[in-house]
Structure 1
């Protein structure tokens, strides 16, 4: 009997960001299979990778380890990783494991891909 995956992955481009929507259970089985796909995305050196975790129903230590692996790979490439989280259980898990300060977190994808307000474009304010 073949076991059906308990997770999903969808990739898309939005503005200058690569958005990966993960869903289902991010347990040992899922992360073992997902790491190859996510490493391939990291190898493209995206300017910003947004991991949308709003449809993740379960996150364990192997899921956290996978998130740290991605963060470390992107940091070495000077790329930005942003997590989209709205589940208080996942936020609590990050807080309890002292990882909440290790990630930039947004509550929705649109705010994650927008440039921060009050930040001027580098060409603005230049005097010719």
Structure 2
């Protein structure tokens, strides 16, 4: 039995008469309300920032990322999100990963330098979030 706000939410869903509900936010109340009406739903649950160094689960071309997180795979995406980062990509691409990592760790220990620190520490941030496998978007339907 639904009461209060859940009853209002159920009535709202009933009024718009959807054939399916896509839940992204407020999953629990929407799920309870739509279940009472017998309407199927798809739940999208993800937090890209947990596994994606760029935080979006998208590649640098804004397409769904299908490769494993790594210093080389993620560099263009992460640099795209750093002011001035895309201009440094050709140079960073030529710089060996281990050297970029050492430079980034050094810059994390010294006072922040505007523009420079965010760019040269991208490899460290990638390494900190690197997963062991591919990045997936999880979708559950019921």
- Using the size of structure 2 for normalisation, the TM-score is 0.24
Structure with a larger share of its residues in helix:
2
Structure with a larger share of its residues in strand:
1
- Using the size of structure 1 for normalisation, the TM-score is 0.26
Greater RCO, 1 or 2 (C-alpha within 8 Å, sep 6+): 2
